[in-house]
Amino acid sequence: MLNLKFIQDSPELVIEKLKKKNFDAREIVDKIVDLYRQKNDAQQKAEQAKSEMNKISKEIGVLFREGKKDEADAAKARTSELKDTIKQLDSQFSDIENKVAELQVLLPNLPHESVPFGKGEEDNEIVKTVGEMPQLPDGAMPHWELAQKYNLIDFELGVKITGAGFPVYRGKGCRLQRALINFFLDENRNAGYEEIQPPLVVNEDSGFGTGQLPDKEGQMYHVNLDNLYLIPTAEVPVTNIYRNVILDAKDLPLKNTAYSACFRREAGSYGKDVRGLNRLHQFDKVEIVQIAHPDKSYGILDEMVQHVAGLVEKLELPYRIVRLCGGDLSFTSALTYDFEVWSAAQQKWLEVSSVSNFESFQANRLKLRFRDENSKKPQIAHTLNGSALALPRIVAALLENNQTSDGIRIPKALVPYTGFEKI
């Protein structure tokens, strides 16, 4: 959530920067500035009325003692009028604050200066590509056929039990899932991240704090009776650990990792590009989250990108890092790097991770602050998160890229976790 004072002081800068996200902020910003003016006017009038009332209240006793009853009664009547005026102004003040808050949450985060202009993924900037594309044997299959051949994943059974996008893992498919989860968690812990096991449902305050609510795209599953939401990522409950918290600057950065199931409605996801594991409504993911000092958050973002790159390299997958353009950047992010792995059988890049710096946008919503020993007033922290990693497309690429004439090879780094070298 953008800082209101910043919007008021620099409206044209906000409007200009959000053009990079293809967001026309003119109407919202102008309304906020106008409401701020009304708020200041109401506040000034209320203060004048309170000052006059205090002055008159002191005079009433004097007038009565001097026997000036009519003047005293008139003064009392005036104080009653002023009380009604102050009450009306306070109500007006409250209404204005509510209207400003409603408009404030409609504004996306400002993009970092390094974010390229663009409308969608076709305009994203490829930062680097790593690894060689595997050469597959004749008759190579996409992962959904390999999953059926080796009895690893049953997509049709998932449709029977729940619906499309809820696969059932079986046998060595389950063991591969658990191996990846444990491998990612171990690597993250070794990098200094404290492991968290969060709830899989959150309340409205948590959804608002990290920017999922208001849910403009209908991506979250809502548990109506309890007014709770199934999490779309562990980022939501983990980051909300620090909601309404004042941290000590010397403890920053704080680093957490968590495994969770994730739930996304993914409205409108149909067709060949979302077949198999390419897009699911329920999937497993390991997340990393950091709470950082504003002066150090972009250095930490680079460290997180390098950490995720190390995970993909240990899985022996060719990958590329992409800097998202303004039009592809999320509502809450200031700068995001996507990781994509090469799917040899599908001949396409599959996104497996997003690593983002939200700067103060989430922290402002969360009231997440820190206190520096040199400053009495708490400051807003920066939040960052990344997938380390999301499992479905990693599994898809591992199955496709490592298929041989006699089975599917398991990367060396995973063998201690799977207990087998080949499927």
Residue 270: pLDDT over 70: no
Percent of the chain with pLDDT over 90: 81
Residue 330 annotated as binding site: no
Confidence of residue 272 (pLDDT cuts 50, 70, 90): low
Average pLDDT of 56-66? 80
Residue 265 annotated as binding site: yes
Per-residue three-class SS string for the chain: CCCHHHHHHCHHHHHHHHHHHCCCCHHHHHHHHHHHHHHHHHHHHHHHHHHHHHHHHHHHHHHHHCCCHHHHHHHHHHHHHHHHHHHHHHHHHHHHHHHHHHHHCCCCCCCCCCCCCCCCHHHCEEEEEECCCCCCCCCCCCHHHHHHHCCCEEHHHHHHHCCCCCCEECHHHHHHHHHHHHHHHHHHHHCCCEEECCCCEECHHHHHHCCCCCCCCCCCCEECCCCEEECCCCHHHHHHHHCCCEEEHHHCCEEEEEEEEEECCCCCCCCHHHCCCCCCCEEEEEEEEEEECCCCHHHHHHHHHHHHHHHHHHCCCCEEEEECCHHHCCCCCCEEEEEEEEECCCCEEEEEEEEEECCCHHHHHHCCEEECCCCCCCEECEEEEEEEEEHHHHHHHHHHHCEECCEEECCHHHHHHHCCCEC
| Of 283-287, 354-358, 370-374, minimum mean pLDDT range | 370-374
Q: Tokens 């059988």 correspond to what residue? A: 345
Residue 287 annotated as binding site: yes
Residue 266 annotated as binding site: yes
Best CA proximity match to 36, nearest among 93, 86, 88 = 93
Give the model confidence (pLDDT) of 278-334 as tens digits.
999 999 999 999 999 999 999 999 999 999 999 999 999 999 999 999 999 999 999
Average pLDDT of 386-395? 98
Alpha-carbon distance of 176 to 167, in angstroms, equals 14
Residue 352 annotated as binding site: yes
Average pLDDT of 254-276? 82
pTM above 0.85, yes or no: yes
Residue 353 annotated as binding site: yes
Give the start-to-end residue ranges of the domains of the chain: 4-104, 121-418
Residue 217 annotated as binding site: no
Q: What pLDDT shows up at residue 267?
A: 53
Q: Chain-wide mean pLDDT for the chain?
A: 94
**Which CATH architecture fits 121-418?**
2-Layer Sandwich (3.30)
Average pLDDT of 248-261? 97
Q: Regarding the domain delimited by 4-104, which CATH topology (the fold level of the hierarchy) does it fall under?
A: Helix Hairpins (1.10.287)
Residue 23: pLDDT over 70: yes
Angle between helix axes 297-314 and 171-190 (nearest 10 degrees) is: 140
Residue 239 annotated as binding site: no
Residue 145: pLDDT over 90: yes
Average pLDDT of 205-229? 93
Residue 341: pLDDT over 90: yes
